[in-house]
Amino acid sequence: MSTEHLQRQEAIEKLRELVDKIDIGMLCTFIPESDYPHAIPMSRQEVDEHGNIWFLLSSESDTHQNLQRNTKLSLLYADVSNYNFLSINGTGEISQDSARIEKYWSNIVAAWFEQGREDPHIRVLKVTPKDAHYWDNKSNKLVTFLKVAVSAVSGKQMDIGREGDLDLD
């Protein structure tokens, strides 16, 4: 596997590509009285031009409560079928931005908020990545499997993908 560290705009584009492709990631928040993170699956609403990732959530959720006490979080994305993975550490900022709620509202979101767009518990979560690392397969799963098999039989290293840090500053 080759290493490819990406900087600024190229890093943001890679982040957006992987998050948009995978969509649902595990959002991990931290509980002060526990040694373990609290993780839930979340579907992103948008990755903006600065690399921030936006979500909608409920103020009644454990995630919201955890972020009130500690804004640090991690997002973990995995597309196992294509061997694409992304790990993000960052901070969360919660708001009641009505323009963003309107922008992100959909029938899928409506399923989570029984009172509709006017539900007083809807919150917007902006995740600002501080550091990120990715593993990206260069080809499809079958080709990757064949390259791994050839490497195992021949002892030669085959380039089966890329990994690297994303410098988003």
What span, in angstroms and rounded, lies between the C-alpha atoms of 43 and 26? Answer: 9
Return the structure tokens found at 16.
């957006």
Per-residue confidence in pLDDT tens, the chain, 169 aa:
567 788 889 999 999 999 999 999 999 999 988 999 999 999 999 999 999 999 999 999 999 999 999 999 999 999 988 889 999 999 999 999 999 999 999 999 999 998 999 999 999 999 999 999 999 886 555 444 444 444 456 566 645 577 888 888 7
CA-CA distance, 64 to 66, in Å (whole number)?
A: 5
Q: Which domains does the chain have, with CATH numbers?
A: 2-167 (2.30.110.10)
pTM of the full structure: 0.85
Q: What is the pLDDT of residue 137?
A: 80
pLDDT score for 148: 47
> What phi and psi values does residue 159 have, to the nearest 5 degrees?
-80, 105
Residue 146's pLDDT is what? 47
Pairing of strands 161-167, 122-137: antiparallel
